[in-house]
Amino acid sequence: MVVTFQSLSAKSGEGMARLCYYLSGELHKKGLLEKLVVHSKGKYDTNFPSEPVSSFSRVYLLILNRLYRMFNIKTHKFRFAQELLYDWFCSMKLSSSTKILLSTQPYLKRTFRKAKKLGIKTILLPGTPEDNSIYNITTEENKKLNTNVIDGYTYKKRNNYYNESLKYVDLVIGFFPNVYRSYVESITYKGRIVDLPGHMPPDLSPVTIDKKDLDKNEFIIGYLAYTVALKGLQYLLEAWQDIMQDQKRTGLKLMIAGPILPAVAQYIDKNFKELEQVSYVGQVTDVAGFMKQTDLFVVPSLVDAGPASALEAAHYAVPVLITDNCGSAELIGKGEGGGYIVPIKDKNALKENIIWAYTNREANAAKGMQAKKNLDNYSFSEYISTLSEFLEKELND
């Protein structure tokens, strides 16, 4: 039985539900799938057994969303309430006929505990690094920004529920390399861990890459995200501040896109208000147009599973400057390397690579082409086959 907290859509699914959708199809071909359980499901069918966690899930999700807006409930509390409901109903789906429970959702204490009682092997395929590692990084960064923002990863009730859930997990599969590392280093989880790295490229239409004009006046550094503390924009701005103090380079421009969390925006306004050669462009609806403008795309995240923006940049042959705690870094850096991989919180490494890209434009553009090659050569379907074969072996064992 495959379970995922996300919902199923007509095209496949949202987030990790997309992986579960294709994996379930492959397991069904092998005659191994009992069913795919999602949070909610539209009025259509799949070519394999699938069902919502409850026949009332669409109704209670609608009610919860209305209450969320009406009473301005904190997002982290709203999310946790949904997860508790999902866990309650999900536990009712289990029976002794199930041999393996594969979940992308770790907040399932009730379900995992019941699986243990029934002798079901519980496998967790998390889409994000281990929660305690995120909790520690977020707490440390909140101190730096002088904020006390509580989110899903710093909400203690949710974190405790996560740790209680892990007690019943038999095996963790490291989908992203940084996810694998975080569970190896975990002080909470002591079970079996398997390194089975993969990536989930966004659905992108084929494009023709125009040759870069290396002699143009502007050299644009791009950044695109919904910015919270963990996105690391503050370190990119620190690097930019040093670049501007050392020497204002003609045509070098930093373009920051996407909404910014108010607490982070306040910190930026206080510390980087006078920064030159920076523009904040707000919400971007034309991602392709944004990427095509940039000569280097920066992902300075302190922790990130597989940022789609990095792969979108690679799709348009834009070299990526990314931290080593991002799941996409491994794919970007394959072969001769489609970008630059740096440690987290390292403004000097960000600065040095930005300057190198600016002064070595032809070599930088070549890295962009390598990034696209790495992405184009990656086969998500092959990963699904590998994963299904691994699960078949686990079932046989």
User: Residue 305 pLDDT > 80, yes or no?
Assistant: yes
Higher pLDDT, 216 or 251: 251
pLDDT score, position 10 = 63
Residues 117-174 pLDDT 10s: 999 999 999 999 999 999 999 999 999 999 888 889 999 999 999 999 999 999 999 9
Residue 393 scores a pLDDT above 70: yes
Would the pLDDT of 12 be above 60? Answer: no
Collapse the DSSP code of 2 into the 3-class scheme (helix H, G, I; strand E, B; otherwise coil) and give the result.
strand
Q: What is the DSSP string of 163-227?
A: HHHHTT--EEEESSHHHHHHHHT-SS--SEEEE------------PPPPP-TT-S-EEEEEES-B
Higher-confidence residue: 75 or 14?
A: 75
Spatial neighbors of 49 by CB under 8 A, at least 6 apart, are: 28, 33, 34, 35, 36
Question: What is d(CA 131, CA 153) in angstroms, rounded to the nearest whole number?
Answer: 6
The amino acid that residue 161 corresponds to is Y
Q: What is the DSSP string of 41-89?
A: B-S---SS-EEES-TTHHHHHHHHHHHHHHTT--HHHHHHHHHHHHHHH
Homologous superfamily of 219-377 in CATH? Glycogen Phosphorylase B; (3.40.50.2000)
Average pLDDT, the chain: 93
Domain boundaries, the chain: 2-201+379-396, 219-377
pLDDT grade, residue 13 (50/70/90)? low
pLDDT of res. 209? 84
Q: Angle formed by the axes of helices 109-117 and 156-166, to 10°?
A: 20
- Residue pair 249/217 in contact by the 8 Å Cβ criterion: no
**Sorting pLDDT into bands at 50, 70 and 90, what band is 11?**
low
Helix (H, G, I), strand (E, B) or coil at 113: helix
What is the reported pLDDT for 319?
Answer: 97
- Beta bridge partners, 341, equal 322
Q: C-alpha distances in angstroms, 241 versus 24, 221, 272, 285, 296?
A: 49, 14, 8, 28, 17
Predicted confidence at residue 2, as pLDDT, reads 98
Per-residue model confidence (pLDDT) at position 14: 66
Beta partners for residue 3, in sequence order: 37, 103
Do 2-201+379-396 and 219-377 agree at the fold level? yes
Query: Is residue 332 packed enough to be buried (19+ CB in 10 Å), middle (13-18) or exposed (0-12)?
Result: buried
* Cβ within 8 Å of residue 246, ≥6 positions away: none
* Selected residue with higher pLDDT from 45 and 89: 89
For 2-201+379-396, CATH number out of 3.90.1170.50, 3.40.50.2000, 3.40.50.1260, 3.40.190.80 equals 3.40.50.2000
Q: What pLDDT does 7 receive?
A: 87
Percent of the chain with pLDDT over 70: 98
pLDDT tens digits, residue range 57-70?
989 999 999 999 99
pLDDT tens digits, residue range 345-391? 999 999 999 999 999 999 999 999 999 999 999 999 999 999 999 99
pLDDT in tens, 165-187: 999 999 999 999 999 999 999 99
pLDDT of residue 208: 81
- Which helix (DSSP H) or strand (DSSP E) does residue 377 occupy? helix 361-377
H-helix or E-strand containing 36? strand 36-38
Checking if the pLDDT of 314 tops 90, the result is yes
What percent of the chain is modeled with pLDDT above 90? 81
**pLDDT score of 343 more than 70:** yes
Decide: 207 and 188 in contact? Cβ < 8 Å. no
Between these two residues, 177 and 246, which has the higher pLDDT value?
Answer: 177
80 has pLDDT over 80: yes
Distance (Å, rounded) from C-alpha 309 to C-alpha 242? 25
Judge whether residue 36 has pLDDT over 90. Answer: yes
Question: Residue 213 pLDDT more than 80?
Answer: no
* pLDDT tier at 335, thresholds 50, 70, 90: confident
What is the rounded CA–CA span in Å between residue 201 and residue 199?
A: 6
**Residues linked to residue 171 through DSSP beta bridges, in sequence order:** 123, 192
